Structure formats: C-alpha cells, structure tokens
Amino acid sequence: MNKPKHLLILLFIVLLSACQKEELKTPSESELANLPESKVSKSQPGKAAVGSKVMMQAFYWDVPAGGNWWNTVKAKLPAWSSAGIDAIWLPPASKAQNGAFSMGYDPFDYFDFGNYNQMGSTETRFGSKSELQSLISIAHANNLSVIADIVINHNSGGASENNPYTGGSTYTDYDPASGMFYRSATDFHPNDYHSNDSGAFGGFPDLCHDKTYVQDWLWNKSNSVAKYYKNTMGFDGWRFDYVKGFSPWVVNSWISEVGGFAVGEYWDGNAATLEWWVNNSGASAFDFACYYRMRDAFEGNDLTKLQEDMLWKRSPMRAVTFVANHDTDEIYNGKMLAYAYIMTHEGYPTVFYQDYEEWLDKDKLNNLIWIHNNKAGGSTSILHADNDEYIAKRNGAPGLIVYINNSSSRQERWVSTNWYGQVIKDYTGNSGWEPITQGDGWVKLEVPAKSYTIWSTK
C-alpha cells in the first residue's frame, strides 16, 4: 500500500536526525575544560542537589596572584566531578581594595569581576570576568554547582569624606567604577538609624543592613548583588563570610529573595549556638563544633571527644563539616582519620583544596568520597569510643560501619551490625577480611594502626 506523502517526509526527517546524532562526538574531559564559554551549554543536566555529595573548597589563602586561578580551577572540574564532588566554593570574586593582590575579603565593587580598571588593576587576583564566567559554565556542564563567597559585613577602599555621625572624616565614600551600589556614611555604622549592629570586623567600615537602600542593593533590586551573581554570573549558592557581624535575618532575607544553597561562617565551637543560628537564618553553617572536637580527639589522642556535641548531631541537614579551610589551624595528627570521620557521618562534608591536590593521598580521599556518596546513609549510632578507638555505624541501606584507630598497634573488636548472616568487606582496602555477620548481626572487625576501615555489604 502506498504511504501518504507527508508520512514519507516525516520518516526521512527522523532517519536524517538519527544519522546526524550518530556523527556527534562527545568531547573528552580535557577538551571540555578548554571549550570557550560560548560553546558550553547553559543547561545543567543531571546536576546533583547541593549537599547530596561532597563540596570542594576550590582555593586556599594566598593562592598564586597573577590572574590565573580561575583557569587553574577550571582545568580540574571534570576530574572533581568524576570523583563525586557536587559543588565548588570559590573565593570572593569581585574587586577588592587591594586589587590584583587581594583574596577578596576587603570588598570594594561588588559588580567588578575583573572588568574595570580600579584599585590598581583590571583583573582580580584570580582572573577576568570572562574567565570566571567560563569557569562557571564548565562547572555547570560537569554537573557542579558554584558557591559564591559573599562578604557583606564590611567594605574597604572608600575615599575619605566628612561624616556627620562621627563629627570627623571616615573612609566611607564608595564610588565604584561599575556605577552600581554607591555608598556613603549613612550606609555604615554609626548613622541616623543606629550606632552599630552585631559586630564590626578589623576596623573596616561596617555596613548597616537595616537601611532599606542597603537591602535593596544587596538582595531586593532586580540588579542587586544577589540577583546579579545568580542571574548574570550564574552562581548557584552562597557562602556568607563572618555572619557573627550581622543578624541572622539578613541571610534569611537574602535566600528568601533569591534562593540557592547557603552556608554561613559562624565561627563558634558551641553546637547549641550554631543550631540557634541555622534555625534563625534558614541556612546551613560550617560545623565548627565538629572541627574542634576532631582537633581535640586527634591532636589530644582522645577519641572519646568524638562523642561530644556537634551541629551535625543536632541538625544534620544544616551541618557543613570540614577538616581544614583557608583560615583554620591544621589538624596534623590523623588528618586522614578526620576525613574518614566526616565522610562517614551525617552532614555535608567539604574537602580542602590543598589537602586534595597537594598534601594528602588523592586516591584515598577519592575512595572516601565514593564511600560517602554510595554507602553513608541513615542515622548514626556510636558503637564504641575510647582514647584510641572509635566505631560508629550508619543505619541506612546499605549503611556502613567505620572503625578508626589512633593507636600505634592493630586493633580488632566485636560489634553489633544491622546485617544478619551477610558477607561484608572493608571498602577502603585497609583490611582484606571479608567476614560473615552472625545471625544476630554481631561480627569481629579489624583496623590497622593509625588507620581506619569502613565496612558494608558486598
């Protein structure tokens, strides 16, 4: 029977499309990393929700100056994504007082990403605006979210002006080259609204977030800092610097207006205080309580400290755990043990750039990232803790048991599991045992000296 003409035409189009698809070549990781921004899709297919895997802090203090950092990070994105990273946290990206030498924590022009000649340079320490946009596009093409470091407590680099609120002169005249968010004495403390807020930092001019003008420019206006970062630059979330310096409602208002993942740097080792902040801000917080307990445990050789109060135990969905960052003192003893702890417990773990790329065993960190992403589900139960040994289990499916040994000799111990009559193995490769759990779930596990094992079903 003869087919209608329009059906023949449709069949030809389908066949032609199929042939064209077969000829398409998927770019390699190295090719993808070098694609210009215009060649990278703006869509983000399959991008994991921030917090479901592991975040990379993609910088350290005093990364090399010279404007190459954005390109350095961009080249690593495919490998990080393949390792199981779901988000990268970048340093403050806009122009600061020290121009090409600044790490960004002395912000001057929130809308200059390395495209205006001011503060002694056009590019920032990290590179140009186009290089940053290319990095963000490549990150999205690799299913990575990009977290912006936001510094809104204080500013730096303003010119001197007569200040009617102090009776003298202050460096509060901000006239940025972008022409966006001009600031003067009335926008800082003290002013006609009040003398101060939660806290100033380092003698820098302290922004007054109670001012409607400041709120509009930071998050409310259609061309506010928050909306420009999100809609023009493509950032997916926020790391708020020094949130002790202003009230939690500021972060709450920001994320209510623009959304996105948010985490605050509330530098306090008290888990209850951190819980108060996350409840009032609506954001996550870095778990400094966990950081200090790990430091006490591994530096002080007392793993019972790991039983103490931490944010992840109070609010696991709001806790961002970490072993090191650009500001903290180092955990020198048992640093890999600390990573084994955060990768097997609740919270959203962060890997520090220098730990991953320079200082520690990348293969071992990748192994821990894989274990976190594939095995570490459900609530946490601590099974044993003493000076040298710590054992905990995750109660999800399949779940895991982590055995940390801070002593100088091999250890073994009987523990209760959620697996009954099943073969289990150590997914770190530190033990070759493959024991079968008893009918009641008990099993004997081992761990080498100064090491860890992580057990789950085969």
CATH classification of the domain holding 111: 3.20.20.80
pLDDT on residue 16:
36
pLDDT on residue 127:
98
Do the domain assignments include residue 299? Answer: yes
C-alpha 231/C-alpha 82 separation (Å) is 27
pLDDT on residue 329:
80
C-alpha 255/C-alpha 148 separation (Å) is 13
C-alpha 391/C-alpha 345 separation (Å) is 11
Do the domain assignments include residue 406? Answer: no
Token pair recorded at residue 291: 């950081």
Give 354's Cβ-side CA count (13 Å radius). 14
Tens of pLDDT, residue by residue over 194-246, are: 999 999 999 999 999 999 999 999 999 999 999 999 999 999 999 999 999 99
Do the domain assignments include residue 246? Answer: yes
Do the domain assignments include residue 154? Answer: yes
C-alpha 418/C-alpha 133 separation (Å) is 47
Give the containing element (helix H, strand E) for 380: strand 380-385
C-alpha 398/C-alpha 285 separation (Å) is 28
Residue from 81, 59, 73 nearest 136 by CA: 73
Cα dihedral across residues 183, 167, 209, 215: positive or negative: negative
Tens of pLDDT, residue by residue over 309-367, are: 999 999 999 999 999 999 998 878 899 999 999 999 999 999 999 999 999 999 999 99
C-alpha 376/C-alpha 380 separation (Å) is 9
Contact 323, 355 (CB under 8 A): yes
Residue ranges, the chain, pLDDT below 50: 1-46
- Domain span at residue 323 reads 28-158+189-376
Do the domain assignments include residue 282? Answer: yes
pLDDT on residue 29:
35
Do the domain assignments include residue 451? Answer: no
Strands 237-240 vs 145-150: parallel, antiparallel or unpaired:
parallel
C-alpha 336/C-alpha 165 separation (Å) is 52
pLDDT on residue 34:
40
pLDDT on residue 43:
35
Instruction: Please list, in sequence order, all residues whose beta carbon lies within 8 angstroms of the beta carbon of residue 7, skipping any fewer than 6 positions away.
Output: none
C-alpha 339/C-alpha 352 separation (Å) is 10
Contact 71, 126 (CB under 8 A): no
C-alpha 427/C-alpha 448 separation (Å) is 14
Q: What is the CA radius of gyration of the chain?
A: 25
Secondary structure of residue 100 in the 3-state scheme: helix
The pTM score is 0.89
Tens of pLDDT, residue by residue over 10-31, are: 333 333 333 333 332 333 333 3
What's the number of domains the chain is made of? 1
pLDDT on residue 432:
98
Do the domain assignments include residue 175? Answer: no
How many other C-beta atoms lie within 10 A of the C-beta of residue 440?
Answer: 10
Contact 47, 145 (CB under 8 A): yes
Do the domain assignments include residue 386? Answer: no
